[in-house]
Structure 1
Amino acid sequence: MRNFLGTLMGSILRVVYNIVSGIGTEPTHVSYYAIAVIITSIIFKLLLLPININQSKSSKKMNEIQPKLKEIQTKYKNDPQTMQVKMQQLYKDNNYNPASGCLVLLIQFPIILAFFAVFREPAKYAFTEPGFYEAMNKSFLWIANLENSDPYLWGMPLLAALTTYLQTKTMPTAQNVDPQTQATQKTMNYFLPVMIFISARSFAAGLALYWIISNLFTIVQQLITNRSLSKVKEEK
């Protein structure tokens, strides 16, 4: 599955590269390959956009019914069977599927792994002709070769961590949850960017560039979705 999806994603990257490289003279500090990585990252996010929007709506719905859900759990804590019946009825009345969030992750996970594989080994999945990838210009701003890690800690690693943190801030926040859950979520919001920063120091810069563009797209998409859902709630 990973090789199949990797080859598919790699084909998209190659097609984009072929189109970009045929436009005109290659910029000095932003190679055709870097431009292709950016455009392909955006195409990838557009393909997943319906799934991500559905996930945002599901999270928003869960936050809305959370107080009633907590009330049921408290009221019927000594009667698990009745609790389950009441919870299922609550989900049905609010048109909410508790498994939808997991389904979204299951769909996205192999695709994300495949895309990581493409940017980790572009010569295997996208530029398969012998010597073609090695001979390509892979510069991007201060980075001479996107195949290597960023030589500066304040560059791609910091941007990858910063955009990851900003993305967590745009996600819907669970309301009326216990303090322990809130503390755990807050810790994860800081822990994840730190882990991304550490990992990006050894990433190929092309992979880090993909991560940054993907995060920026998600941030904009989430802000638009949050605004749209708020308008719908106000109209209701």
Structure 2
Amino acid sequence: MDFLANIVQQVLTVLYNFTESVGIPNLGLAIVLMTIIIKLIMYPLTQKQIQSTKAMMEIQPKMKALQEKYKDDKQRLNMELANLYKSEGVNPLAGCLPLLIQMPIMIGIFYGIRDYNYAAHPEIVTSFLWLADISKADPTYVLPVLSALTTFIQTKQTMPANGGGAQNKMMMYFMPLFIGYISLTFPAGLVLYWVVMNIMQIAQQSIMNRAAAK
């Protein structure tokens, strides 16, 4: 992960130098720019993962019905599940590869932003909007609240019309609260990345939902 974290830090430095060259040197702005670039690059993978996850959630009631019906016949259950996937046009493994590719990148981004050498820059460069220093946690709690709220909206968007079952509903509320809680202690720059990424994800999901409704 050190290798990926170093790349993230180098990219962040390049983007900071860019903001400096246009007369607005700011690390917070550099993080926003980097988030947008990363999201655009990962758009196809994210789209594939979202589509696969939503499709699996939509057929969960049917899967549970089969599991209950054939709970004593594993071989028949596997055959019926395979038939269900085929009839619904769902590949249960389709969402795994995009996620496996994204996970190391996301971890590298996490450590890269968290451990960035903010102290090497003057104080004015590490301030952003209401934040006096993005290397420290947000004392106003605005970013942690935004991280929880945007995570909730993003999670709710991927829920199928049938709700996706009790477990999915529980996760829809638990994950935002967990993200908001851990954001209280993370550097504001890292939480800023998460919030901007979520906002772009929400926009992407909205576009996909509108396209699917046509």
> Given the two structures, how large is their TM-score scaled by the length of structure 1?
0.80
Contact preservation (8 Å) 2:123, 2:133: no
Q: Distance in 1 between matches of 2:58 and 2:27?
A: 44
Q: Distance in 1 between matches of 2:112 and 2:136?
A: 15
Identity of aligned residues (%): 39
Q: Distance in 1 between matches of 2:147 and 2:57?
A: 28
How many residue pairs are counted as aligned between the two chains?
A: 214
Q: Distance in 2 between matches of 1:151 and 1:188?
A: 27
Q: CA deviation at 1:68?
A: 4.8
User: Could you report, residue by residue, the CA deviation over 1:90-130 in whole angstroms, capped at 9, with x for unpaired residues?
Assistant: 3234442212233333222211111011111112xxx8xxx
Q: What is the DSSP-based 3-state SS (H/G/I as helix, E as strand, rest coil) of the residue aligned with 2:125?
A: coil
Q: CA deviation at 1:171?
A: 1.2
Q: Distance in 2 between matches of 1:176 and 1:35?
A: 37
140-149 or 95-104, larger mean C-alpha shift: 95-104
Contact preservation (8 Å) 1:56, 1:225: no
Q: What is the DSSP-based 3-state SS (H/G/I as helix, E as strand, rest coil) of the residue aligned with 1:100?
A: coil
User: Could you report, residue by residue, the CA deviation over 1:167-219 in whole angstroms, capped at 9, with x for unpaired residues?
Assistant: 11111337386xxx42x322222222222222111111111111110110111
Q: Which residue of 1 aligns with 2:129?
A: 141
User: Could you report, residue by residue, the CA deviation over 1:43-102 in whole angstroms, capped at 9, with x for unpaired residues?
Assistant: 111222111100122133334544554554454343321221232233234442212233
User: Could you report, residue by residue, the CA deviation over 1:137-195 in whole angstroms, capped at 9, with x for unpaired residues?
Assistant: 11112211111111112x11111111111111111337386xxx42x322222222222
Q: Which residue of 2 aligns with 1:48?
A: 42
Q: Which residue of 1 aligns with 2:183?
A: 200
Q: What is the DSSP-based 3-state SS (H/G/I as helix, E as strand, rest coil) of the residue aligned with 1:173?
A: coil
Q: Distance in 2 between matches of 1:76 and 1:199?
A: 41
Report the aligned-residue RMSD. Answer: 2.4
Contact preservation (8 Å) 1:63, 1:174: no
Q: How does 1:51-200 map to 2 (within 5 A)?
A: 51-66=45-60, 68-123=62-117, 132-133=120-121, 137-153=125-141, 155-173=142-160, 175=162, 181-182=165-166, 184-200=167-183
Q: Distance in 2 between matches of 1:134 and 1:104?
A: 39
Counterpart amino acid of residue 14 in structure 2:
V
Runs of 4+ in 1 over 3 A off after TM superposition: 63-78, 92-95, 131-136, 174-177
Counterpart amino acid of residue 102 in structure 2:
Q
Q: Distance in 2 between matches of 1:33 and 1:214?
A: 16
Q: What is the DSSP-based 3-state SS (H/G/I as helix, E as strand, rest coil) of the residue aligned with 2:121?
A: helix
> Given the two structures, how large is their TM-score scaled by the length of structure 2?
0.87
Unaligned runs of 5+ in 1: 232-236
Q: What is the DSSP-based 3-state SS (H/G/I as helix, E as strand, rest coil) of the residue aligned with 2:179?
A: helix
Q: Distance in 1 between matches of 2:206 and 2:144?
A: 24
Counterpart amino acid of residue 149 in structure 1:
A
Unaligned runs of 5+ in 2: none
User: Could you report, residue by residue, the CA deviation over 1:11-38 in whole angstroms, capped at 9, with x for unpaired residues?
Assistant: 22222222221112x2xxxx52111110
Q: Distance in 1 between matches of 2:80 and 2:182?
A: 44
Q: Which residue of 2 aligns with 1:216?
A: 199
